[in-house]
């Protein structure tokens, strides 16, 4: 039987189930008691948000493949007041030494998005404003969002993945964090499971 689990990964949790050594760091095992499921893609220890876990290896490979370019949307708090020039640079794609990013959907949010407080909170500096961006990427390189915003002069302070879009012609379907708080998880609904398994039929 295949499991599909939607998990809201908190800040400072490693995106794995086991540890080497004696470090006391938190892992997925501290939150999800289901055996033999694995994350589809990763979120860094200092990132938060939506994580899909499954024991369906074929689906895991399908969703992780850059060939299918499933959009992932993030709410990103950055240091400084962004401007249209920097946002357009992010949209166009930019060189990060070892690769060039694909075009990215980027918009500035007018207000702070409805996220629960982070534990611990970010360190605010009264003299430096912050901005919130919504960024949608179709690739998931290591620390890509953080490297992108730093490249245009706005270091990332907080990063939360809020949705994953599953593309299967003729339409699309979004997995979201709706109804979950950090550290909580749920099984996929029947309609979500049908969409996830349906992706494999058109491989």
Q: What is the pLDDT along the chain (203 residues), one digit of tens a residue?
A: 899 999 999 999 999 998 876 667 899 999 999 989 999 988 999 999 999 999 999 998 888 877 777 899 999 999 999 999 999 999 999 999 888 999 999 999 999 999 999 989 998 888 889 999 999 999 888 899 999 999 999 999 999 999 999 876 666 789 999 999 999 999 999 989 988 988 887 65
* C-beta of residue 165 within 8 angstroms of C-beta of residue 156: no
> What's residue 168's pLDDT?
65
* C-beta of residue 132 within 8 angstroms of C-beta of residue 109: yes
> What's residue 202's pLDDT?
60
φ, ψ at 57 (rounded to 5°)? -60, -40
> What's residue 146's pLDDT?
97
> What's residue 198's pLDDT?
87
Q: Distance between CA 12 and CA 187 in Å, rounded?
A: 23
Q: Which strand (E) or helix (H) includes residue 137? A: strand 130-137
> What's residue 112's pLDDT?
95
Residues sharing a CB contact under 8 Å with residue 60, sequence separation 6 or more, in sequence order = 38, 40, 54
Q: Distance between CA 187 and CA 94 in Å, rounded?
A: 37
Ordered alpha helix ranges (H), 93-152: 144-151
> What's residue 22's pLDDT?
65
Question: Which domains, and CATH codes, for the chain?
Answer: 4-67+163-201 (3.30.70.580), 72-162 (3.30.70.1560)
Q: Is 95 a catalytic residue?
A: no
The residue annotated as part of the active site, out of 44, 46, 95, 119, is: 44
> What's residue 117's pLDDT?
93
């Amino acid at each position: 039987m295949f499991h599909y689990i939607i998990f809201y990964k908190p800040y400072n949790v490693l995106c794995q189930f086991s540890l080497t050594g004696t470090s006391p760091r938190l892992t997925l095992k501290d939150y999800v008691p289901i055996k033999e499921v694995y994350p589809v893609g990763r979120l860094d220890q200092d990132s938060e948000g939506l994580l899909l876990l499954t024991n369906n290896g074929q689906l895991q490979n399908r969703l992780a493949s850059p060939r299918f370019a499933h959009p992932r949307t993030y709410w990103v708090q950055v240091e400084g007041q962004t401007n249209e020039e920097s946002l357009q640079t992010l949209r166009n794609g930019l060189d990060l030494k070892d690769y060039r990013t694909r075009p990215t959907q980027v918009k500035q949010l007018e207000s702070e998005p409805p996220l629960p407080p982070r534990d611990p909170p970010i360190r605010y500096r009264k003299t430096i404003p912050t901005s919130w961006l919504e960024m949608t990427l179709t690739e998931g390189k290591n620390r890509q969002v953080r490297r992108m915003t730093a490249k245009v002069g706005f270091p990332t302070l907080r990063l939360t993945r809020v949705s994953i879009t599953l593309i299967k012609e003729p339409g699309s379907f979004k997995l979201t964090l709706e109804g979950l708080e950090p550290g909580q998880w749920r099984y996929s609904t029947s309609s979500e499971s049908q969409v996830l398994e349906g992706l494999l039929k058109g491989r």
